[in-house]
Amino acid sequence: MPQRAPTTSTLMRPFVVLALPGMYLLYKYNQYRQQQMETARRRVTERELMHLNTKISLWSGVVTSSRVLLNGVVLSRGYAKRPDDGCRRANADIPEEPYHCERRKKKKSNILHKIKLKIIEGGTNFGTPFRNVQCTKKVCKEVVVPEPKALPPPVKPVPPMPAPRPGVQVSILGADTSLGQYVALLLKQCPCIKKLRLYEANEPNEECHRSIFQVVEDLRHINTNCLVQAFSCTCNELERCLQNSDIVLMLENGYVSQDLPLETRFAYSAPLVKHYTDIIANECPKAFIIVCATPVDCMVPLVSETLKETGWYDPRKVLGSVAVPEMRATTLAARALSLEPNYVRVPCVGGTEGNALVPLFSKAVEYFEFSEKNTLMMTKTVREAPAAIARSDGDCIKAAELSEAHALANLVTKVAWALLGKDVPRVSGFIETDARQIISPARFIANTVEIIDKGILKSLGLPQMKDIEVTTLNLALNELCRRQEMVEDWYCKYCSSTCRLDTCQTQFFAPKEFHRFDDCAYANI
């Protein structure tokens, strides 16, 4: 017969036969090890219990016999008063002795006594369950603060903050120009302004621009909460426009070219600014006035003198705008340094235009200074920027109205947030100097100030400057003094030309004496 090929089971059969005895021996060995371990563990536990019971019984007998011999009384088992830690525990103890001996010392608890207490109390080591031990709540003692041995450190009083207001009301005088319309467009988007009033200073010219009422109708379509209203000079609505205003923005009247001399521009705009100030003193004397009519160096002293005449002058509420030249100087310095303009700021001191303007390029970036040549070149560029832009003006359109509107809108927004008590911004402005902070021959000077809800808080003073900047500032102060003298002369001539003062000056023969010219002039009115 042919033989069959061997299968896999036939080949593995010898190996299976050899492996079975080894597996059986391994199983028996493991079983034997487990029995040995259980026996050893049981022996240790029984031996410990027997040893402990022997010692405890022996020691208890010794103590009992000694007490019976000494006291002659029957020992009774009880519980002693141990220092209680807040929890009632089953602690074995001995009662008080009837014949107490002061010389006998209290016996200390040894290790056997502790083991005995543990056995009586019960535990998992001896197969008894835990007892139900409840803890009573401890009464916390009041912490007595000791009196200070020295005076407490001085605490700086926090000034009371005013109640928040929903928004401010802004009046723009001269909003009929393109600059006024652009400023109104930007302020319409400001959330801190609840009402915006636009005043048309000139009669509308159809060839140049739209009527102020058309502009207001256009602005009302913007989806913001700011309410926009229009007022015109043809209806004599200046008083209505200024009623209950919080901020008054004075823009220049018409299109006065910057190429004209400063005296000509001042003579053209001064009567209108004087008229604006008189109405402000009657309708909103506590409003914050921002003067943007050029030349600002001359208009701010004129507004101050007019308010002094009415008795409503507050130097904290009058600010001349230096936002436009500061914006130009900052942009120029940022381009020269190839930096973001948001990280650069060039403060302007002195005046607001021409030779009176002094931009401090040394303060543009910390730890960096321009060379003297570059400083003079950039200063000249900033001073001549208005004249250079005026050469590209059209008949009814100015070339730099968009940038100027952006700078003025930012200034008005900062002042609005400050009046609401939500910010304390630092801005550059043309203000009246304080002799306690700045000693200057000029009564008015451009400087960095802080604004709060009550107006200008303080002037930060002139910073430390380079030698070239100090020399330029000295020349600028002389120019400022000349311009302010021109304003005072014009104001005296304007007041003396009125019919009221002419009538009063003819009645100087009254015997009554006066100490001031104003008292003499208005005594018989």
Q: Domains of the chain by range and CATH?
A: 41-78+89-99+109-128 (no CATH), 168-392+399-482 (3.40.50.720)
Res 92: pLDDT: 46
Band of residue 79 on the pLDDT scale cut at 50, 70, 90: very low
- 106-143 tens-digit pLDDT: 555 566 666 656 655 555 444 444 455 566 677 777 88
Task: Tell me: pLDDT of 223 over 70.
Answer: yes
Return the number of other C-beta atoms located less than 10 Å from residue 370's C-beta: 20
Band of residue 498 on the pLDDT scale cut at 50, 70, 90: low
The mean pLDDT of 188-207, rounded to a whole number, is 86
The mean pLDDT of 404-425, rounded to a whole number, is 94
> Do 462 and 349 contact (CB within 8 A), yes or no?
yes
Task: Tell me: pLDDT of 307 over 90.
Answer: yes
Res 260: pLDDT: 84
- 340-399 tens-digit pLDDT: 998 999 999 999 998 999 999 999 988 888 999 999 999 999 999 888 887 776 655 566
Res 476: pLDDT: 93
Band of residue 434 on the pLDDT scale cut at 50, 70, 90: confident
- 337-357 tens-digit pLDDT: 999 998 999 999 999 998 999
List b or e across 338-352, with b for residues whose CB sees 16 or more CB atoms inside 10 angstroms. Answer: eeeeeebbbbbbbbb
Which backbone phi and psi does 124 adopt, to 5 degrees?
-75, -20
Band of residue 209 on the pLDDT scale cut at 50, 70, 90: low
**Mean pLDDT estimate for the chain:** 79
Res 39: pLDDT: 76
d(CA 341, CA 334): 5
Res 144: pLDDT: 82
232, with CB counted inside 10 A (0-12, 13-18, 19+), is buried
d(CA 43, CA 86): 40
Res 158: pLDDT: 78
- Among 72-86, 241-255, 475-489, where is mean pLDDT lowest? 72-86
Q: Where are any strands of DSSP class E within 334-395?
A: 348-350, 357-359
> Do 325 and 358 contact (CB within 8 A), yes or no?
no
The mean pLDDT of 188-211, rounded to a whole number, is 83
d(CA 427, CA 449): 6
